[in-house]
Amino acid sequence: MKKLSVIAFGGNALLRGDQIGTIEEQEKNVYETCQHLVPLLKSGYDLVIGHGNGPQVGNVLLQHEAGKRIYGLPTQPIDFCVAETQGSIGFMIEQQLRNVLAEHGMERNIVTLVTQVMVDKQDPAFKNPTKPVGPFYSSEEVEELKSLHPDWVFHEDPRKRGWRRVVASPRPLEIPNWQAVEKLAREGSIVITVGGGGIPAYVDEQGKMVGIDAVIDKDLASSLLANKIRADEFCILTDVPNAYINFHKPGEMKLERVTVEEMKKHLADGQFAKGSMAPKVEACLEFVDNGGKEAIITQAEQLGVEGKGTVIGH
């Protein structure tokens, strides 16, 4: 059986820190990232691709706010906006990957799936929302928004740029269409799914599926999917070649092949920044702890290069 790999594209694969997010910028970034998938495909891997959507969903929320202010159009909830960005980003990845494959004389079916991910409405994260979404507001705008949306929560930006709405980031529990993802991938299709961590949803008291305002960590969702489809490996692409201990400090050391036990100790010792490397490490550990063979944290440029990146296994 061919190897099956789940690869989570980091934000750098879509939008760089010094860019504003034009379609040309994003397509160029995606094209360059997809070029680095070719060695894996040539060596016979089946692939499933997950991706982030932070800047893009923020822009969509801004567009909705502007449409309401200028034209009186209704704004849409975050789950709807996540669905929008799953479609738009999936389109970019699919299109640029097709261009890359054509250049290399390769043919693969590529399928983009708009994917819901189930969460628990009683998850403690809903009592302590921390994930910033959307634009910055003045204190006056916040008061106006609170009058319209009494359940919304706002935090002041640490850099004093204004106030932002914050939402919960609950744990992903189930991916309704994972069987279809596995079937398509093992038949040779490249599947793009769980974009932005998935569209957050839960089952209400009447047994109906309902969307909810939240943002799911895309690495945790991709890790869950990798376990569900029994992937051989799970890879998180980021903007550094390895995970490090003492990062940017005296005694800095890159981690290459690391056991689960070693990585858990580094995590407990606070070696990985919260909101940055820590959730990536946690997602990798979950994959290996739940039956996965190995998880990798690396740059796109090092995909498929033996001995490169941080490899976590037993």
Q: Which residues are catalytic?
A: 11-12, 131, 218, 280
- Residue 157: CB atoms within 10 A of its CB come to 13
Query: Cα separations (Å) of 197 from 235, 283, 291?
Result: 15, 12, 21
What are the respective helix, strand and coil percentages of the chain, to the nearest 5? 40, 20, 40
Rounded Cα distance, 224 and 291, in Å: 11
Q: Where are the beta strands (DSSP E) in 183-259?
A: 190-192, 199-203, 209-211, 233-237, 244-245, 253-254, 257-259
Cβ-proximal residues to 153 (8 Å cutoff; 6+ apart), any chain = 129, 165, 166, 167
Rounded Cα distance, 297 and 301, in Å: 12
Rounded Cα distance, 204 and 192, in Å: 28
**CB-CB contact of 266 with 246 (8 Å):** no
One-letter amino acid for residue 225 of the chain:
L
∠ CA 144-145-148, rounded to 5° = 95
3-class DSSP assignment, residue 191: strand
